Structure 1
Amino acid sequence: MTTYETPMAEGLTALVEPLKALAHPVRLQVLQWLRVPEEHFPVNEVGVCVSHIQAKTGLAQSTVSAYMAVLERAGLVRSARVGKWTHYRRDEERIAQLIEQIGRDIGDIEPAKPARP
């Protein structure tokens, strides 16, 4: 089987990492929890401590740290170190830009034309 790579429009490449990050159910759930963190975690002015996220997910600390790193590389969360702890909060500005870009780039796609017989 031959695989052909289709060149990606430059604007769409900025969507790939965030969408990949959101494709995992736990990462998506954490991002949803962080939308209103005070409903799900003890919160301070810096954000939510990774240990609280780890406790809520029930996953290993290393797994949660890896998931949070993916979300951070995708620009969906920001981190801050306080002593030996890392705290996270959503990057609302970047999330709003991403939503706008999705609407602009793929939200108004015209339906595909049926193939001719």
Structure 2
Amino acid sequence: MTTHAQSSPDATELVEVFKALANPVRLQLLQWLRDPERNFPAAERIADPYEVGVCVTHIHAKTGLAQSTVSAYMSALERAGLVRSTRVGKWTHYRRDEERIAQLVDVLGRSL
């Protein structure tokens, strides 16, 4: 789901979402990002976790996975349209795309 237009996702886009969510760690990451203030350390933030997102460094620290693995997981979630990334200096921050997630939930509710 590289485009975030207001159109409803098609079957191919939905498959991409399901693939992204089929990995338990990616699903956990999306759940943690739902409440970033609770799940990531406030003392180390350089940006608002809801407006800008959570730094990939903090996500990496929480998961204990290699940073390259975390980056790949976050890229998969972004390709599926579930998160958005923002660069702040040399750091990449991720936040949930709540509008797109709500749209997906609506489509699933009407089509399954």
TM-score tier by shorter-chain length is 0.7 to 0.9
User: Is the Cα contact below 8 Å between 2:86 and 2:92 reproduced in 1?
Assistant: yes
> Are residue 89 (structure 1) and residue 95 (structure 2) matched?
yes
**TM-score (structure 1 length as normaliser):** 0.79
Q: Secondary structure at the match of 2:110?
A: helix
Name the structure 2 match of 1:47. Answer: 53
- The corresponding residue for 2:5 is none
CA contact (8 A) 2:33 2:95 kept: yes
CA RMSD of aligned residues (A): 1.3
* Larger Rg computed on CA atoms: 1
Distance 1:14 1:47 in 2: 23
- In 2, are the aligned partners of 1:12 and 1:105 still within 8 Å (CA)? no
Asked if residue 34 in structure 1 is aligned to residue 40 in structure 2, the reply is: no
The AA in structure 2 aligned to 1:24 is N
Alpha-carbon displacement from aligned partner over 1:88-117 (angstroms, at most 9, x marks no partner): 0000000001111111111xxxxxxxxxxx
**Residue of structure 2 in register with 1:56 after alignment:** 62
**What amino acid is the match of 1:100?**
D
Gaps of 5+ in 1: 1-9, 107-117
Structure 1 segment 1-117 matched on structure 2, within 5 A: 11-41=10-40, 42=42, 43=45, 44-45=47-48, 46-106=52-112
Count the aligned residue pairs. 97
Q: CA deviation at 1:47?
A: 1.1
**What is the TM-score normalised by the length of structure 2?**
0.82
Contact 1:77/1:88 (CA < 8 Å) preserved in 2? yes
- CA–CA distance in structure 2, aligned partners of residues 33 and 52 of structure 1: 11
* SS class of match (2:65): coil
Matches of 2:10 and 2:77, distance apart in 1: 20
